[in-house]
Amino acid sequence: MSKIKAIVFALMAAVFYAINIPMSKLLLDHAGPTTMAALLYIGAGIGIGILSCIDRTKKVDRQMLTKSDLPFVTGMILLDIAAPIFLMLGIKYGTSANASLLGNFEIVATTVIALIIFKETVSIRLWAAIALITFSSILLSVDGTESLRFSYGSFFVLMATLCWGFENNCTRKISSKSTYEIVVLKGLFSGFGALAIAFIAHETLPEFRYIIAALSLGFISYGLSIFMYVRAQNVLGAAKTSAYYAAAPFIGAFLSFVFLHEDLLWTYPIALIVMSAGTVVAVVDTLIRYHTHQHQHTFTHTHDGSTHTHTITHTHGHAHYITDAAHRHYHSVKELEDALI
């Protein structure tokens, strides 16, 4: 997959996931938060499982998971049980617009974990983006203008993003394997694990029509989103894919404002500007690629009546924006002039 296509997949993943927050807010009036989280993931697993059965190109997908992938698969499933439960609690005790925008803190969690634990390279630009997004997340974590009381809804959302930060990095380690298998395992095991917790917490299943609605929402906002996210992650890496995924909270907040008529407090426009700046910096970092070239220069000269030939090897690094078009580098002024004639 090309990097441009991977970027499109990451953005589409963000769009699909953005639908989740406002729609879940509506369905939480009819289902408990843990039950709702379970149904969303089960819907994702079932929907992608059906797609895998009818997709004739799946044979050329990727290799299947092996025993060596078990630690990352286990971590992925356990974290995907906890994260949506925290998110549903955050939506239940807060606003869906706030939950949508705070979801961008997942970029920070994913990037820091990728750097410290999984040793991904993080540039100065990406650190700057992290700082901006962290500040905007703090702005969104307070209630109103008259106090600095911390919002419990915001706390639960931040816990969800922390879990997903770890989960993104676990998924990154197996993203070269079958995307269908990853999403189906993630959806079904995480979903039924959350459902077991819901039964232990004495939550009851909602009416059948709400079960169908939650499963359908799960297929779109979790199943398709995760599928495209994993595909993009295999090309871009965990940290950079999460930067493009940052569009999701903005879209989710807008949908909450339009369809749920939620008021946007004074912190929202400020945080939106700061988050947008952080996202732009992260995207610029993704589009710039650094690499080095090694060259050999040979020259002949006369010294003390004898002729000598010397060969010097050196390397230099430079950055350029990525495109899918072919390009070449000119290593001398004459070579460039010859090419232009």
Report which DSSP code applies to 227. H
Domain range enclosing 40: 3-289
Phi, psi of 312 (to 5 degrees): -115, 130
How far apart are the C-alpha atoms of 184 and 169, rounded to whole Å?
18
Please give the average pLDDT of every successive group of 10 residues along the chain, which has 341 residues: 82 88 88 93 95 70 81 93 90 77 77 79 78 75 51 85 90 87 93 94 93 96 91 80 74 78 73 80 67 49 57 48 42 45 46
Candidates 18, 86, 22, 4; CA nearest to 246 is 18
Is 250 inside any structural domain? Answer: yes
Q: Which residue's entry shows tokens 């974990």? A: 113
Contact in structure between 118 and 172 (CB atoms under 8 Å): yes
DSSP string, 244-296: HTTHHHHHHHHHHHHHS-PPPPTHHHHHHHHHHHHHHHHHHHHHEEEEEEEEE
Is 316 inside any structural domain? Answer: no
Is 216 inside any structural domain? Answer: yes
pLDDT of residue 95: 74
Q: Which residue's entry shows tokens 């998924």? A: 171
Domains identified in the chain, total number: 1
pLDDT of residue 248: 76
Is 160 inside any structural domain? Answer: yes
How far apart are the C-alpha atoms of 180 and 200, rounded to whole Å?
30
How far apart are the C-alpha atoms of 235 and 2, rounded to whole Å?
8
∠ CA 108-260-107, nearest 5°, is: 5
Contacts of 147 (CB under 8 A, 6+ apart): none
Contact in structure between 40 and 277 (CB atoms under 8 Å): no
pTM of the predicted structure, to 2 decimals: 0.69
Coil vs helix vs strand at 318: strand
Buried b (16+ CB within 10 A) or exposed e, 66-103: eeebeebbebbbbbbbbbbbbbbbbbbbbbbbbbbbbb
Sign of the torsion formed by the C-alpha atoms of 128, 133, 139 and 142: negative
The upper half-sphere exposure of residue 225, i.e. CA atoms within 13 Å in the direction of its Cβ, equals 26
Candidates 270, 216, 309, 310; CA nearest to 24 is 216
Q: What are the helix and strand counts (H, E) for the chain?
A: 15, 2
Is 104 inside any structural domain? Answer: yes
